[in-house]
Structure formats: C-alpha cells, structure tokens
Structure 1
Amino acid sequence: MSTPIIQIRDVTKTYDAGRPVLSGLNLEVAAGEALAVLGPSGSGKSTLLNLIAGLDRPSAGSVTVDGLRVDQLTEAGLARYRQARIGMVFQFFNLLDDLTALDNVLLPAQLAGLPAVKARRRALELLAQLGVDEHAGAFPGRLSGGQRQRVAVARALMNRPPLLLADEPTGALDRAAAADVRELLTELHAAGQTLLLVTHDTALARACASRTIELLDGGIVRDVVRPVMSA
C-alpha cells in the first residue's frame, strides 16, 4: 500500500494556553483523494489547513505531507515546500490587482526559478484549460468572481503540486459562479489531482469530495468515504 500524501499524527494545537483548537487529531489522506473538511466555525477546519500548508505549527504531534515533516521545516524550507508541493486556493482569490491574470499565474513559476518561456507556455495552457485564456491580459478587477477563482486555481496549479488546498473556494461567489467552481474542482479530481477542501458549502462537498470528515471541538466526529456525485 502506498504512503499517504498527508499524515497527521496526534496533533494538538493550542493558542495562548487556551482550550485546544485541535486535540490529538489523527488523519491520513491518500494520493488521488478529494477530501472535504466540514464543521462549524471554531471547529478547527482552518487550523488544520494552516498546519498542512505550513502556515502554522502544531503544539504537539507531527504533520507529514508528500514525505516531508512540515512541522520540522525551517522558514526557508517551508517556502520551498509551498512552492513545490502544494497549491492554495483562497475564498477571496488573493490575486494581485496590479498584475494581469497571466502575470498572477506566472508568479509561482518565477519564485521557483522556472525558465520564462517554459513558464509562460505552462501558464497559457492552464488558462486555456480553465476557460479564461481570453482574459490573460485583463487585471483582476475587470473579471467576475468565477473568472478570478479560475485564475487563482491556475496559479495554484502552476508548479504541478501533488496537493491542492482550497479554503472556502466558493465562499465569496454567487450561486452560478459557485457551481462553475464546483465543476472545475470535480474535473481536477477526476484527472487525478489530490484535493483538500475546507468548506461550509455542502453542495461543494457533495459534488467534489470522495471523502468527507467533520470536525467538532478539535476532533473528527465523522469520516465518510463515498462515490462522487455529479455537480
């Protein structure tokens, strides 16, 4: 059996000596899975995502992603990890307003030192695959919410990360744009991309996820593997 792409072992996270946000959490995610993390506000969803992304460190326990002990990496190591191993999609897109869609997508490749011609070809291919290539020269402020999220997904996929993390990717979108993003993430998973989605959007989880966990009071109270339904 192959090694899981995510291994969370006995992870506890406490802030300012308060009640643990996560308490003794154990979780494994296999390559190719699409995992949706559900739960009420304060249940630890965002904290879990931040630990996997290396944006925070556990108070106890270990976080291993794609064979790397993320909790033991230096700041420089974490930067390299985020460049090469994960892509991140956020609720509010996090695109740079003074860069075009194409230049936003190119950023991860530039930070990783990829050759300019190769990077530009990859970026244009991604924008075309995601249906926004005609907006390559547009600035984010001229795009709809759904178009901006597609550009954000293209940026997240630029360096071919084995793991794509999405934090409420439909939270800032209207119903039509949210359905569009659900379809996009479903297609990515069908193509073999490993996904971890933190969301309140049950329609997103139902459409995209092959597995759903629910967090409550810092622990997993439900873990369900099921077939993916059409969006």
Structure 2
Amino acid sequence: MPAPVIEFKQVVKRYEDGPPALGPVELSVYPGEAVALLGPSGSGKSTFLNLVAALDRPTEGEITVDGVRVDRLGEAAAAKYRRARIGMVFQFFNLIDDLCVMDNVLLPAQLAGLNRAEARDRAWTLLQSLGVDAYAKHYPGRLSGGERQRVAVARALINRPPLLLADEPTGALDTASREDVKELIRELNEQGQTIVLVTHDEDLATGCASREVRLLDGCVVSDQTLSAVTR
C-alpha cells in the first residue's frame, strides 16, 4: 500500500467555544484516488479543504499531505507548500480578468520561481490538452463558464501538484458545461491525478469519483468505494 497523499489523524477544528466544526476525523486519501466529499452546508466540507490547503490550522490532531506535516507550517512555509503541492479549482474560477488566459495559467509558476521558458511550455501543453489553447491570448470575460473552468484547471496543474482540490467546480455552470467539466475531472483522474472534490452535486460525485465520503456535523458518517459501473 503506498503512503497516503492526505492523512488526518484525530483532527479537530473548533472556532471559539462552540462545538467542533470538524472532527474528530481519521481519514486517508491515497495516490490516484478521486474522493468526493459530500454533506449539507455546515457539515465541515470547507473546513476540511482549508485544513488540507493550510489555509487554517487544526485545534487538535495531525495532518500530513504528500509527506509534509501541514499542521506545523508557518505562514511562509504554508504558502510555499500550496504552490508546490496543491492545485485548487473554485466554483467561480478566480481568474484575474485583467490578465489573458496564458498569463493566468503562468501566474502560479512565476510565483514558484519556475524558469519562464519551461513554464510557457507547460502552459501550452496544458491548454492544448484541455482544449482551450485557441483562447491563450483572450481575456477570461470572453470565455464561457466551461472554458473558464478549463483554464482554471490548467492554472491549478501548472506546478504539477500531487493533489488537486476542487471546491464546487460545477456550481456556477450550465448543464452542458457541467457535463464538460465532469468529463474533464474523470479524465484527469484516469491519468493518475489525485483529486478531492467538494460538491453538493450527487451526479458529479458518482460520475467522477472512485470514492465517496459523507460528512455530517463535522464527522465522517460514511466512506464507500464507488464501482466502475457507477462511474
């Protein structure tokens, strides 16, 4: 069994004196898995993602991602960790409107200090593989929602992170674009990309994920492997 990409050991997150927003949680995600995290609002999904991305710290417990003890990172180390090990895709794309598609994709590589020529080669390869290379010089506002999400995925993958976090990636899309992004996520996982997908969309979860984890009141209430037939 390979080492987990994500490992939560008795992780608890509390805000002030209220009940835990998450935990205690014991959970591991292994290389090549596509894990769908489901649950109602307030169940702890966003807290889980924030902890994995080192945007927040646990109150108790240990979090290891790709061999890094995330719960011990300071701010500078956490920023470096995110650039190197985490790709993030959001519901509303978070592209910079004043930058063209190519420059949006290049930005994380530039922040990570990657050689510009190598970064451009990677960006072109990603845009071509995702079918949006024709829009490299366009600005995000000229693209459809599905096209913008493909650009966001290219940006998330430019530094070749071992883990892709997708937070409601189809939440702002129409039906056709949702199907497009669902197919994209499935293809990325088939190529070996480890993915954690937070969604309210049951169809997206069953269509993309190899495993489904459900949260309720901050705790894992079910964890099941999905069959290839389901996908």
Residues 78/39 of structure 1: CA separation in 2 closer, same or farther (3 Å cut)? same
Distance of 2:228 and 2:138 partners within structure 1:
34
Distance of 1:137 and 1:2 partners within structure 2:
41
Overall identity of the aligned pairs, in %: 63
Q: Is the aligned partner of 1:180 residue 2:183?
A: no
Give the match for residue 13 of structure 2: 13
Residues 156/228 of structure 1: CA separation in 2 closer, same or farther (3 Å cut)? farther
Shift of 1:227: 2.2
Q: Is the aligned partner of 1:116 residue 2:116?
A: yes
Give the match for residue 81 of structure 1: 81
Q: TM-score, normalised by structure 2?
A: 0.98
Distance of 1:228 and 1:86 partners within structure 2:
26
Aligned length: 231
Give the match for residue 201 of structure 1: 201
Shift of 1:121: 1.0
Q: What is the identity, as a one-letter code, of the residue corresponding to 2:81?
A: Y
Note the alpha carbon deviations across 1:23-79, whole angstroms, 9 max, x for none.
211100111100000000000001001100111111111111000000101111111
SS of residue paired to 1:50? helix
Q: What is the identity, as a one-letter code, of the residue corresponding to 1:96?
A: I
User: Map of 1:113-192 to 2, 5 A cutoff?
Assistant: 113-192=113-192
Give the match for residue 22 of structure 2: 22
* Runs of 4+ in structure 1 over 3 Å off: 228-231
CA contact (8 A) 1:209 1:228 kept: no
Note the alpha carbon deviations across 1:209-228, whole angstroms, 9 max, x for none.
00001000111111110224
Give the match for residue 103 of structure 1: 103
Shift of 1:135: 0.5
Note the alpha carbon deviations across 1:179-199, whole angstroms, 9 max, x for none.
000000000000000000000
SS of residue paired to 2:114? coil
Q: What is the identity, as a one-letter code, of the residue corresponding to 2:97?
A: D
Give the match for residue 72 of structure 2: 72
Shift of 1:136: 0.5
SS of residue paired to 1:81? helix
Q: CA RMSD in A?
A: 1.0
Shift of 1:230: 7.2
Identify unmatched segments of 5+ residues in structure 2: none
CA contact (8 A) 1:37 1:196 kept: yes
